[in-house]
Chains A and B, each alone.
Chain A
Amino acid sequence: MTLAHRIIPCLDTDGSRVVKGVNFAGLRDAGDPVALAARYNAEGADELVLLDIAASRDRRPTFLDTIRSVAAELSIPLTAGGGIRSLEDARSVILAGADKVTVNTAAVAHPELISELSREFGAQAVVLAIDAKFLHDHWDVMVRGGRESANREALAWAQQGVALGAGEILLTSVDRDGTQLGFDVPLTAAISRAVSVPVIASGGAKLPEHFAHIFSEGAADAALAASIFHDNVQSIRELKKFLAAKKIEVRLPC
């Protein structure tokens, strides 16, 4: 009896449509987050992440509608984020049906936001998203969708975020994101061993071996991927069978 390693598909949306790498056979509307969510729920995903990558103010109501429709399809936890700047932003996302919220850029600008959210919703509902990029001799925190340096050391920021009340870290390697070369093992291992909360590894996944590696060598508690699931490069069911055969604890779908 061990806590299972989680496999988490991520839906990047522009508010209402999945915008990255969607080429899903058998779906009438491949960019529909609700249809994808239902499929992943049935395939044995352990959780779902829904991100509003546009995160523009006027699209907010649309994103909240998307959360509501996606949540209605799920019997697994839902994390939502993108553009959450305040307690009220987070509350609307949670009331729409998300179990957890992610904060990123706004938390770097105002770290006390993490504490506010944690006090209000509990640490288990607050996911600190960190986009990290290797720079000379350390990992640097990037903000605004990985485009701008925050001039902060990722390891120290992760520890500070946890001290402020984050209950989980969603760690994306900017270096690996989109490359399909595998997760960033040294980055994930360094952060995972430096904090007392679960770490979700993200960025670079393609092969089942990448997942095995990030769980064993990278000390990740969960692994997230987007396009390889959307594009049917990797089925969640087959991935979990592969991991189970490698003696990695996963929750096998029936």
Chain B
Amino acid sequence: MNVTLIDYGAGNVTSVERALQRLGAATQRSNSPECIAKAEALLLPGVGHYAALIRALDERALRAPLLDAIRRGVPFLGVCLGLQALYESSEESPELSGLRLLPGSVRSLPATVKLPHMGWNQLKLTRASRLLEDISPDAYFYFAHSFAATGGNGEAVALCSYGADFAAVIENQNIFAVQFHPEKSGDAGAQLLQNFLRLAA
């Protein structure tokens, strides 16, 4: 199996690619609609501004093949902005439309805490998770974001709490997404990516 990394110019594609290759996975980067349509497994990385991701998807005509692949059941992992993109919209760029695979919107974390939420934090598991298998419930993951899915999240299998509870891990059939950066989260992050590779195989 080959994991297609959607390469729209995000800063963390290289680190995600390296993290997967360290686990022995075959990867390819792509920003072409044809490759995404044929992908065996898809990974949408992302760090930075929501608008940069959504605009890049539309400018490169990747939205339709991506949605189509996900609806056909192709395993998908969204990382950070790649999680936020699954919702209807984001407060960071309210004029743009998200992928709308999940209901609700992404909002700013409250100003009562230091933002960005930057560093290592733990998760609150809400139900059994395939993505978090063999990972200690006390494990820390690396977060770097100011916006998050803070609405009541039916799809979240784990929440994180920082100023407010938000979706940290999402699992919905073939759709997987994490708000943190598994590629920067040491051994726990590597195990999570390994789990995705196994689930996608």
- Contact between A167 and B184 (Cβ–Cβ < 8 Å)? no
Name A198's contact: one of B22, B111, B118, B183 (CB within 8 Å): B118
Given A125-B48, A197-B114; A46-B119 close (CB under 8 Å): yes
A74 and B22 alpha carbons, distance in the complex (Å): 11
Q: Assess whether B122 is in contact with A1, with CB atoms less than 8 Å apart.
A: yes
Closest partner residue, chain B, to A123 (CB atom): B116
Interface check B161, CB cutoff 8 A:
yes
Q: Which of B11-19, B27-35, B55-63 contacts A (4 or more CB under 8 A)?
A: B11-19
* Nearest CB in chain B: distance from A152 CB, A: 23
Complex partner residue of B189 from A3, A75, A122, A123, CB under 8 angstroms: A75
Known: A123-B146, A124-B47, A124-B144. A75 touches B116 (CB 8 A): no
Q: Is the CB of B119 within 8 A of A75?
A: no
Q: Does A196 contact B (CB under 8 A)?
A: yes
List of B residues within 8 angstroms of A74 by Cβ: 184
Total interface residues in chain A, CB < 8 Å: 34
Q: Contact: B119 with A6, CB < 8 Å?
A: yes
- Check B115 against A196 for contact (C-beta < 8 Å): yes
Q: Do B118 and A76 have beta carbons less than 8 Å apart? A: no
Task: Identify the closest chain A residue to B184 (Cβ).
Answer: A77
Q: Is B38 an interface residue (CB 8 A)?
A: no
Is B116 a contact of A99 with CB atoms below 8 Å? no
- Contact call A198/B114, Cβ cutoff below 8 A: yes
Q: A205 to B26, alpha carbons, bound, how many Å? A: 43
Tell me the chain A residues, 16-48 only, with Cβ under 8 Å from chain B: 41, 46
From B48, B121, B186, A122 is in contact (CB under 8 Å) with: B48
Chain B residues whose CB sits within 8 angstroms of the CB of A222 once the complex forms: 119
Cα–Cα, bound, A222→B114 (Å): 13
Bound-complex Cα distance A243 to B185 (A): 20
A7 to chain B, nearest CB (A): 10
Chain B residue at minimal CB-CB distance from A68? B14
Q: Does B187 contact A (CB under 8 A)?
A: yes
Q: How many Å lie between the Cα of A121 and that of B162 in the bound state?
A: 23
Binding site for A on B (CB under 8 A): 11-12, 14-15, 18-19, 22, 47-49, 111, 114-124, 140, 142, 144-146, 160-162, 181, 183-187, 189-190
Q: A4-B140, A122-B47, A221-B119 are in contact. List 6 more A-B contacts (CB 8 A).
A: A3-B119, A4-B119, A71-B15, A77-B181, A77-B184, A123-B146
